[in-house]
């Protein structure tokens, strides 16, 4: 392994570690803040002290979780500078804006009103307190909006132009970033998945209360609120997931091929509902891609294009630049080998521009700029030597995608059943330990589902930090690999240590509080 | 002045405002360094809960400060964070520990015990103040880096900025930077004592915090005088525009000249220093005076803004390169494009609204000072 590869991989590993830790806490914050706000709204309307007790019970858990989200979040923002400094310059003109707006519009709102939410019960009016609770929830979602706009832009870079004088990209259409189809789908998909996760968490903890026969009335109240929030969440997550798949097929077809483990595509392409990939399969060989699979005919064509006969390219088709017409005729597009060639031509043109600029040769600059424009769409490919470097980890993307989808389907069923029991079979809800155990076991499953979603999004878009424009290897900082290994280890130890403390505090709190009469 | 230059200056002004707010809010960090010296658990609990209602604000201001720098001066973000790696990582680690410590310290089952989390708060207090001071010190006394944008096309070593192999540790061990860092620490401790006087209603606390103001404020004043002496005699980098190109050269007494040429910066500095000294003297000399934090806080903010102005305005390189003056960063050569700065400037119209709701929430929570009785019955406390 050469030095650059090692540095890139460790920088990736560190970002993945910190991002995945952060995402353990963020979706619970997004969903639980809404659940708590609804509970307090009911209390505000009814002035029923039981709703106040229920609100405070979940609010305390929210606070414990929120602290960890904040702790893990600060690293992510600054890592763009510490570990991906080239990236920060190359696209900072575009990427920095949503981050700054996030801070100004969302973080201050959260930071200000969460203090009122926790400490203001006896210091501000009930109306102001309720407003603070809602503003904390809104602040959390606003924060998600801007960081997801930024992330979506990395997946689908729009609204900018390259400036060869400064060797960086510059924004020229802000609304193209904010309203890109990737951003809108990703925002609703992520936020609503947070509602799904928080709903399962509240229902799982409530099920434990019912199992222990403690505070049953509060548990049922909580299940009803969490059930509705979670049902809306999972329906929205599934709908936006479908929208995301269509957008991905258009702007990141390689990711879609990896999600499905699809090497060779076809018209009327089936979708693998569940399967095991052949670990020996290599790009370009004739081995079967799956050891086992359950497929739905035409499913992927419908998912990706909304047309059962549409062609969906596989990894090998994309590398070769091949697609098929509905009649089966081959259309030759631009292969990855050609993209690499044109990417290198773009690099060469930029070099020539730089030399001409230093020499003050304006006509050479114009010529080089024209050449650069011609091939700039393939600029990022110029960093590769062979086409295979532009293919993500298919196994990880495939399994993460299928785990997410299967668990997503399970949670839809889960919420329907739970709400039915809560409203129509309350005795069963309170007395049957099997469903209660299922609900408790669902807590870790929903976190697996949520993390798997991000693995699909982020591993599936590798090796790009900016799709087609900048691979990870060109985005890094000039720091020694040993420094990144050291900080990776530090973060792993600190975050793991704090996670253990958080889980223990939550368990102790739930156990202790459940023994009091908080109904 | 052209629109683009105006936008660059506006954004440097906003950076100075955020920097000023951050240094004012560092009283939270200063207070954290005083927790382990509290006389008893009740006093410590009152101090923690007093700070605990504000820690999110100082934390958020740091995050927004970073975000605003990223958006407005991305070349600084790229150069400093990626280069002075250890300096920034140590700052961040301190803030990670802070973020959980308030919530976890008294919670049952926190695994490591209250004292560990109080120690974390102390670590954040020291690291946060000293190292942020060191980071700002590099704005005046420089850092060891070079920038070569053409490296972007080098497929084996593409990083555009190159640093000394110590990657930020050298900045921490530069005595001039440390002088500012330690001054910031004692300023933050003095301000914390003033804040405790204002926000905790307890006689024992009042007596102890007055002593803390006397000692920490005295040390701060001495250190700040020393820093000012070093700054005013230091060389700086002058940026000159010629035929559309910026050239950068060393200029003796650059910051002294900047104060003379920008009278408004000098005025701001003197007013700020005067307000801090007024708060210091009145708190020590007048019994039952509790409003020192406001004079000191506003004075601190004014001084910090003046320092940022002499660092970046008047054709000054705000991030001097000690290895290659031409690589030094100015607000012209490191800023975002005109389009981005314009878009971002429109977003800033919301700032008065943000300030207003922060002020209202602050007033609502602090209008009644914390008392020992409140600590006994409060259902959510740190």
**Concatenated DSSP letters for B265-279?**
HHHHHHHHHHHHHHH
Name the DSSP class of B149.
G
Name the DSSP class of B337.
P
- Percent helix, strand and coil across chain B, each rounded to 5? 70, 5, 20
Using left for φ > 0, alpha for ψ between -120 and 50, and beta otherwise, residue A403 falls in alpha
Closest by CA to A469, choosing from A321, A330, A350, is A350
Which of B107, B117, B244, B246 should be substituted to probe chain A, the one whose Cβ sees the most A Cβ atoms within 10 Å? Answer: B107
What's the pTM value of the predicted model, to 2 decimals?
0.93
d(CA A382, CA B358): 49
Interface of B with A in 142-201 (CB under 8 A): 149-150, 152-153, 155-163, 165, 167
- pLDDT, tens digit, 9 for 90 and up, residues A61-114: 999 999 999 999 999 989 999 999 999 999 999 999 998 899 888 998 998 999
Contacts of B74 (CB under 8 A, 6+ apart): A88, A89, A92, A93, A96, A168, B334, B336
| pLDDT for res B156 | 83
- pLDDT, tens digit, 9 for 90 and up, residues B217-241: 999 999 999 999 999 999 999 999 8
Q: Is B329 helix (H, G, I), strand (E, B) or coil?
A: strand
Give the β-pairing of A160-163 and A168-171: antiparallel
- pLDDT, tens digit, 9 for 90 and up, residues B306-348: 999 999 999 999 999 999 999 999 999 999 999 999 999 999 9
Residue B332 near residue B238 (C-beta atoms within 8 A): no
Q: How many CB pairs under 8 A join A and B?
A: 285
Touching check for A74 and chain B: CB below 8 Å? yes
Q: Do B150 and A351 touch (CB under 8 A)?
A: yes
Residues of chain B contacting residue A347, judged by C-beta atoms under 8 Å apart: 153
How far apart are the CA of B78 and the nearest CA of chain A, in angstroms?
4
Choice between B341 and B1, residue whose per-residue pLDDT is larger? B341
Residues of chain A contacting residue B111, judged by C-beta atoms under 8 Å apart: 497, 500-501, 504
Interface of B with A in 57-86 (CB under 8 A): 57, 59-60, 62-64, 66-68, 70-72, 74-75, 77-83, 85-86
Q: Judge whether residue B11 has pLDDT over 60.
A: yes
Closest by CA to A254, choosing from A463, A477, A437, is A463
What Å distances lie between residue A445 and A62, A66, A391, B54, B315, CA to CA?
Answer: 20, 21, 29, 36, 58
Q: Return the number of other C-beta atoms located less than 10 Å from residue A137's C-beta.
A: 25
Which member of B68, B83, B364 has the closest CB to residue A116?
B364
Q: Judge whether residue A1 has pLDDT over 60.
A: no
Q: Judge whether residue A403 has pLDDT over 90.
A: yes
d(CA A428, CA A484): 53
Calculate what percentage of chain A has a pLDDT beyond 70. 99
Touching check for A56 and chain B: CB below 8 Å? yes
Tell me the HSE value of B1 on the side-chain side, using a 13 A CA sphere: 11
Residue B210 near residue B283 (C-beta atoms within 8 A): yes
Q: What are the φ/ψ torsions at residue A275 (nearest 5 degrees)?
A: -175, 170
pLDDT band at residue A2 using 50, 70 and 90 as cut-offs: low
What Å distances lie between residue B44 and A496, B105, B196, CA to CA?
Answer: 28, 12, 11
- Please name the helix (run of DSSP H) or strand (run of DSSP E) that holds residue A187, with its range, or none: helix A181-211
Interface of A with B in 325-384 (CB under 8 A): 347, 350-351, 354, 383
Question: In the numeric block, which tokens belong to residue B235?
Answer: 């060389």
């Amino acid at each position: 392994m050469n030095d650059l590869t090692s540095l890139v991989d460790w920088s990736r590993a560190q970002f993945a570690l910190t991002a995945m830790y952060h995402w353990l806490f963020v979706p619970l914050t997004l969903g639980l803040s809404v659940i708590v706000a609804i509970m307090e709204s009911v209390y505000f309307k009814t002035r029923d002290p039981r709703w106040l007790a229920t609100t405070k019970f979940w609010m305390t858990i929210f606070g414990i979780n929120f602290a960890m989200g904040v702790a893990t979040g600060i690293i992510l923002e600054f890592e763009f500078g510490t570990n991906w400094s080239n990236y920060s310059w190359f696209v900072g003109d575009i990427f920095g804006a949503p981050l700054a707006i996030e801070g100004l519009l969302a973080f201050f709102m959260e930071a200000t009103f969460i203090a009122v939410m926790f400490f203001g019960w006896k210091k501000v009016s009930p109306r102001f307190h309720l407003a603070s609770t809602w503003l904390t929830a809104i602040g959390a979602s606003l924060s998600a909006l801007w960081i997801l706009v930024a992330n979506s832009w990395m997946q689908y870079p729009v609204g900018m132009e390259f400036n060869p004088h400064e060797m960086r990209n510059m924004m020229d259409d802000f609304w193209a970033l904010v309203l890109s189809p990737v951003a809108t789908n990703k925002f609703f998909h992520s936020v609503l998945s947070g509602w799904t996760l928080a709903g399962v968490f509240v229902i799982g903890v409530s099920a434990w209360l019912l199992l222990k026969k403690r505070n049953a009335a509060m548990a049922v109240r909580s299940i009803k609120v969490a059930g509705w929030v979670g049902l809306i969440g999972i329906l929205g997550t599934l709908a936006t997931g479908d929208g995301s798949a269509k957008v991905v097929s258009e702007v990141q077809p390689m990711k879609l091929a990896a999600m499905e483990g699809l090497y060779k595509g076809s018209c009327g392409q089936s979708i693998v509902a569940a399967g095991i990939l052949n670990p020996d399969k290599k790009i370009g060989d004739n081995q079967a891609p799956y050891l086992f699979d359950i497929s739905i005919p035409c499913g992927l064509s419908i998912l990706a294009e909304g047309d059962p006969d549409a062609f969906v390219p596989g990894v090998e088709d994309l590398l070769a630049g091949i697609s098929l017409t509905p009649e089966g005729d081959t259309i030759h597009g631009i292969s990855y080998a050609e993209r690499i060639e044109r990417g290198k031509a773009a690099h060469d043109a930029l070099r020539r521009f730089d030399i001409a600029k230093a020499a003050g040769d304006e006509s050479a600059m114009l010529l080089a700029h024209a050449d650069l424009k011609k091939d700039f769409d393939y600029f990022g490919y110029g960093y590769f030597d062979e086409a295979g470097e532009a293919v993500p980890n298919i196994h990880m993307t495939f399994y993460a995608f299928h785990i997410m989808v299967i668990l997503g389907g399970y949670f839809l069923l889960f919420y329907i059943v739970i709400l039915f029991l809560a409203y129509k079979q309350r005795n069963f809800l309170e007395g049957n330990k099997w469903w209660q155990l299922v609900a408790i076991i669902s807590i870790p499953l929903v976190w697996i589902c949520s993390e798997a979603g991000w693995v699909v999004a982020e591993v599936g878009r590798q090796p790009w930090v900016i799709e087609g424009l900048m691979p990870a290897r060109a985005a890094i900082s000039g720091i020694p690999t040993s420094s990144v290994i050291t900080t990776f280890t530090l973060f792993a130890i600190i975050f793991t240590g704090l996670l253990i403390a958080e889980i223990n505090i939550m368990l102790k709190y739930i156990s202790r509080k459940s023994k009091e009469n908080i109904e | 002045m052209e629109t683009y230059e105006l936008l660059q200056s506006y954004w440097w002004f906003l950076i100075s405002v955020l920097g000023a707010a951050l240094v004012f809010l560092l009283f939270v960090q200063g207070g954290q360094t005083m927790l382990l010296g509290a006389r008893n658990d009740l006093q410590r609990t009152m101090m923690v809960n007093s700070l605990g209602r504000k820690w999110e604000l100082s934390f958020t201001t740091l995050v927004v400060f970073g975000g605003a720098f990223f958006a407005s001066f991305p070349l600084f973000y790229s150069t400093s964070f990626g280069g002075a790696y250890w300096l920034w990582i140590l700052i961040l680690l301190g803030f990670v520990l802070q973020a959980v410590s308030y919530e976890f310290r008294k919670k049952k089952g926190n695994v490591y015990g209250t004292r560990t989390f109080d120690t974390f708060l102390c670590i954040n207090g020291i690291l946060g103040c000293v190292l942020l001071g060191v980071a700002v010190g590099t704005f005046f006394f420089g850092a060891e880096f070079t920038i070569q944008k053409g490296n972007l096309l080098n497929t084996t070593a593409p990083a555009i900025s190159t640093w000394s192999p110590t990657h930020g540790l050298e900045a921490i061990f530069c005595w001039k930077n440390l002088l500012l860092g330690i001054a910031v620490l004692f300023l933050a401790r003095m301000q914390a004592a003033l804040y405790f006087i204002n926000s905790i209603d307890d006689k024992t606390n009042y007596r102890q915090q007055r002593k803390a103001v006397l000692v920490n404020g005295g040390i701060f004043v001495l250190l700040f005088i020393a820093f000012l002496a070093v700054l005013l005699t230091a060389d700086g980098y002058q940026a000159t525009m010629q035929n559309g190109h910026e050239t950068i050269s060393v200029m003796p007494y650059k910051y002294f000249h900047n104060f003379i040429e920008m009278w408004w910066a000098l005025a701001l500095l003197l007013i700020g220093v005067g307000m801090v000294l007024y708060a210091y003297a009145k708190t020590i000399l007048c019994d039952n005076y509790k409003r020192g934090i406001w004079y000191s806080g506003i004075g601190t903010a004014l001084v910090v803004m003046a320092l940022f102005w002499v660092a970046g305005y008047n054709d000054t390189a705000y991030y001097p390169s000690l290895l290659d003056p031409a690589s030094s960063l100015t607000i012209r050569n490191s800023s975002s494009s005109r389009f981005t700065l314009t878009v971002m400037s429109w977003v800033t119209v919301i700032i008065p609204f943000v300030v207003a709701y922060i002020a209202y929430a602050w007033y609502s929570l602090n209008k009644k000072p914390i008392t020992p009785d409140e600590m006994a019955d409060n259902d959510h406390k740190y």
